[in-house]
Structure 1
Amino acid sequence: MSTGLLVDALTPADLPRCAELEAQIFAGDSPWPLAGFVAELRAAHNRYFALRTGPGAPVAGYAGIAVLGPVGAHECEIHTIAVDPVLRGRGGGRALLAALLDVADGLEVADGQVTPVFLEVRTDNAPAISLYRDTGFGIAGLRRNYYQPSGADAYTMVRPAPPDDEGENAP
């Protein structure tokens, strides 16, 4: 099933649109300014992707992941996933997450190991939590007042899911 959406590399020319979307989507929680996106894209350990409605179309979403630690013992941290509200529910977030996980899964690791991937998500963001659980993440902890200035709490989630994350008492 085709969603009509595509994921490709985020470029410096895309960053003003990312900052616009960020201000709209995360208005209550200190959205990243343009300079923040510029710094993120320049960092050698980061990979950023754009969601588009077609080849050459403006950014409709974006996502980024950091690759941390030494070769063979990497960990990854998802910095952001955001989709234009008018396009939500069409698989864009899932496609962006898949691109991020492809980065992690392509890293050299010890035999039989999976590169751990960490993220934070608002505890009230049920659609995102469900997506993350569907892709092997589990809740590893709670960060109170993580998002500012709203004071919203966040779950720290990790893939692979921690062994004690039964999923029965968590969203």
Structure 2
Amino acid sequence: MLHRAAFTQDRAWDADEFANLLATPHCHVIAESNGFALIRVIADEAELLTIAVHPEHRRAGLGKSLLIRSMAKATELGAFELFLEVAADNAGALALYHSTGFAQVGLRPGYYARAGVGPVDALLLSRPLP
């Protein structure tokens, strides 16, 4: 499963978790052959639930493409702001999010468990949508 390949430090979501999310009318998948994003749009707010790119296809613009398409879909569905959370030690994701206009709006201390290194903070980011 692509999500498992993309998330080696965090617990990957299982098929039932995806099925339950996708069964709701508010969740939408943005997919490409080697990656996908899952967003939830409720009223005028959107949340990027996950974005996954196969490790062999990273650093080629796929993550940015998925993020931009996710923002466009959220806007199309009436959202004015997009939120997400990211592990503080995920330098690649943080670079992507900051380069696309996201700013930190919150913190969840010790949110992610990491084997051998202790817990890692979750940063809450958001950005207005066009």
Question: Does the alignment reach a TM-score above 0.5?
Answer: yes
> In the alignment, what sits opposite 2:125?
157
1:39 & 1:142 partners in 2: Cα distance? 27
Structure-2 change in CA distance of 1:108 and 1:84 (3 Å)? closer
1:43 & 1:108 partners in 2: Cα distance? 17
Q: Could you tell me the TM-score, scaled by structure 1's length?
A: 0.67
- Which portions of structure 1, spanning 4 or more consecutive aligned residues, are displaced by more than 4 angstroms? none
1:131 equivalent among 87, 96, 104: 96
Q: Which has the higher strand share?
A: 2
What's the secondary structure of 1:43's corresponding residue? Answer: coil
2:55 & 2:8 partners in 1: Cα distance? 13
CA contact (8 A) 1:121 1:154 kept: yes
Q: Does 1:61 align with 2:35?
A: yes
1:11-160 to 2 correspondence within 5 Å? 20-52=1-33, 60-69=34-43, 74-108=44-78, 115-148=80-113, 151-160=119-128
CA offsets per residue over residues 101-144 of structure 1, 9 Å max, x none? 001222447xxxxx111000111112211211121110111111
CA offsets per residue over residues 6-46 of structure 1, 9 Å max, x none? xxxxxxxxxxxxxx222232233221111111112221101
2:32 & 2:48 partners in 1: Cα distance? 16
* Aligned residues between the structures: 126
How much has 1:149 moved relative to structure 2? Answer: 5.8
CA contact (8 A) 1:63 1:97 kept: yes
CA RMSD of aligned residues (A): 1.9
Structure-2 change in CA distance of 1:21 and 1:153 (3 Å)? same
Highest relative contact order (Cα 8 Å, sep 6+), 1 or 2?
2
Counterpart of 1:65, as a letter, is I
2:92 & 2:7 partners in 1: Cα distance? 16
Query: Percent identity among equivalent residues?
Result: 38
Counterpart of 1:86, as a letter, is E
Structure 2 segments unaligned to the other structure (5+ residues): none
CA contact (8 A) 1:82 1:93 kept: yes
Counterpart of 2:18, as a letter, is F
